[in-house]
Amino acid sequence: MHGTQRGMIPSAQEGSTTKSAGTGLLDYTQVQLVTSLQEFLQVEIEYQRLAECADGFMFPSFRAEWIKVLQPIYFPTPHHTPFFVLVRRNGELIGAAMFRKVVRGMTPLAFRWLEFLGQHTGHSALDNLTGDFIVSSDADRELVIDAVCRALNGPLRALWDGISLKRFCAYSTSLSAFLKAFPQARAVQEEMSGFVAELGASFEDTWGQFDSKARKNLRRAIRLLDASGLPYHFETRDEIDASLLGEISVLHSGRQRLLKELGRNDRDDLLSGEVMLDRVGELLRAMARAGKLRIHLMRIDNALAAFSIVFGGRAGANSWLVAFDEAFSRFSPSRLMFEHMYRQEIERYGTPRVNLMLGHTQAKQDFSNRIYSSHTVEVLNVSSFSARLKTESLRIFRRVMR
């Protein structure tokens, strides 16, 4: 491996120094590039400490548990490799850009793209829907992004041709900082918006913020359910076993098949195959061991009527897989799950916010109080002669082929 790819790289060619706020002392910032899973495992412990500090909005595809369990999905061929840019200040890991390097096209014009880890997995339910940089503190966000961009434009410039970052979420300042560092970047707002529920100190204060008509309909659903005489209850679990995973799989797969029959071809039947079910089970068990898993459940007449799998974080939680049984649709079980989930997240976990993720549904709109946008950002490597030559050659080729 070339010397610039291993070990510590100053964030500028002669090192980078910044003054610490309030101390007057100079900090020294260094960058390390990790290009294999073997190298990543060597820094896993300190990296996971950084990951624990990450913004609670971020989908956990960057966590070490996901990287290890989903290795065959994240890196399915030799053309898909890690490109993790780690930033240290005075030896302490304070940030990271978790990229994947993807080589597309035929040599000698093969283009080397950098993209967010988990950006394209082949399973929409596993895709990273909240692209961002990992930082230990918001106060260091611009410093981390500046160090990453300096390295990409400096000692790492010969290793990539373009950057294509999808689902780059605009809720943090990372997007503006990245665009400042790469003024030649092209950013386009994507069609899908994301929905967030900012949770208050009490459930009552929070619930009162949401759509009054939607809350009234839920009270009607409860009355209807009580009148039916069917027993029902809610529960929340912090771990998963084979029996519960089987129940969730059957309900989720049935719901996805129904949506596909209704013309929703974007649905991902993630849990239908035995191999993927085993992998997701391993992933959920790993998140449970890390104390990040909660599974909210509603049962009607002893049958699983609805579920919501949530991943917790430092500053919030992400709602991941949700589904309900169409046989109980008259009781609105998926909407009743919002009430149970928010009550549990506030009273049991002290969660300040729940990211309902990208993609519009009426339920998300009714039970959220914040909307955010996401962008696709592309950058061509103007610092590399090879990248400029490939770009120009491809432009000429496309023009000739018209």
pLDDT in tens, 275-309: 788 999 999 999 999 999 999 999 999 999 999 99
Cβ–Cβ under 8 Å, residues 270 and 126:
yes
Which CATH architecture describes the domain 3-184+382-401? 3-Layer(aba) Sandwich (3.40)
pLDDT of residue 124: 82
Check residue 198 and give its pLDDT. Answer: 94
| Secondary-structure percent of the chain, ordered helix, strand, coil, rounded to 5 | 40, 30, 30
What is residue 240's predicted lDDT score, i.e. its pLDDT?
96
Tell me, what DSSP letter sits at residue 327?
A: G
Here the tokens at position 239 are 């771990």
Fold category of 196-371 in CATH: Aminopeptidase (3.40.630)
104, 52 in Cβ contact below 8 A? no
Say what the pTM is.
0.87
What's the Cα-to-Cα distance from 196 to each of 205, 210, 308, 319, 364, rounded to whole Å?
Answer: 16, 12, 15, 10, 8
Q: Which residues does the chain have with pLDDT short of 70? A: 1-27, 55-56, 264-268, 394, 397-398, 401-402
Q: Give the phi and the psi of residue 313 in degrees, each rounded to 5.
A: -145, 180
Asked if the domains 3-184+382-401 and 196-371 are classified in one and the same CATH topology, the answer is yes
Beta-strand pair 370-380/186-198 = antiparallel
Token output for 386: 């090879």
For residue 195, list its beta bridge partners: 357, 371
Q: What is the distance between the alpha carbons of residues 245 and 285, in angstroms, rounded to a whole number?
A: 10
pLDDT digit string, tens, across residues 345-372:
999 999 999 999 988 889 999 999 999 9
pLDDT of residue 24: 44
- Assign residue 118 a region (left: φ > 0; alpha: ψ between -120 and 50; beta: otherwise): left
Break the chain into its structural domains and give their ranges.
Answer: 3-184+382-401, 196-371
